[in-house]
Amino acid sequence: MNRLSAILPAGQVLVDVDASSKKRVFEHAGLLFENQHAIARAIVTDNLFARERLGSTGLGHGVAIPHGRIKGLKNPLAAVIRLSQPIPFDAPDDEPVNLLIFLLVPEAATQRHLEILSEIAELLSDRELRERLKTEPDAAEVHGLIERWQPLKSVA
């Protein structure tokens, strides 16, 4: 099991979500975390935007990893939202984004949070997998693709 799948329930993978802007998709994520984990949606969206003001979380190739620190959160949480239409996201390659992996971490984030982010970036750098995640019509299969993915083992 990889670090992302350990914190990503199947019910938090959504495909073909209709959101016309970064603001709308952040609100959608806020609503998802509020419904699934009783975290106020405003807290989620405010934290995501606070992080985004430091620089875009868009990686390029149509993907982004919006993330934020949440006061009172005990463990990291993740969600995957794939949009029906790509949106502008200020990514380094200026490509619009349609696949977003959201990560919420405790306010006193640790090395573990950086490891999760690093692993998500590694997963998204796999071109073939990234394209399947961006096109697979079934949310359960998107979750399965993430669940079955294995990070490269470090040669330590």
Residue 124 CA to residue 136 CA, distance in Å, equals 15
Higher pLDDT, 11 or 152: 11
Q: What is the pLDDT of residues 86-131, one digit of tens each?
A: 999 999 999 999 999 999 999 887 788 889 999 999 999 999 999 9
Burial class (CB in 10 A: 0-12, 13-18, 19+), 27: middle
Please return the burial class of 62, using the count of CB atoms within 10 Å of its CB with bins 0-12, 13-18 and 19+.
Answer: buried
What is the pLDDT, as a whole number, of residue 112?
81
Q: Give residue 156's pLDDT.
A: 46
Distance CA(118)–CA(21), nearest Å, equals 26
For 15-31, the pLDDT digits (tens) are: 999 999 999 999 999 99
* Band (146; pLDDT cuts 50, 70, 90): very high
| Burial class (CB within 10 angstroms; exposed 0-12, middle 13-18, buried 19+) of 93 | exposed
The whole-chain average pLDDT of the chain stands at 93
pLDDT of residue 154: 54
Find the distance separating the first CA and the last CA of the chain, reported in whole Å. Answer: 19
What pTM was estimated for this model as a whole? 0.94
So which residues are the catalytic ones?
Answer: 67
Mean of the pLDDT values across residues 134-151? 95
Q: How far apart are CA 87 and CA 37, in angstroms?
A: 26
pLDDT in tens, 65-89: 999 999 999 999 999 999 999 999 9
The rounded distance, in Å, linking the Cα atoms of 25 and 30 is: 9
* Angstrom distance (rounded) from CA 120 to CA 126: 10
CA distance 144 to 151: 15
Tally the residues of the chain.
Answer: 156
Q: Which two tokens stand for residue 143?
A: 């979750």
pLDDT digits (tens, 9 = 90+) for 25-58: 999 999 999 999 999 999 999 999 999 999 999 9
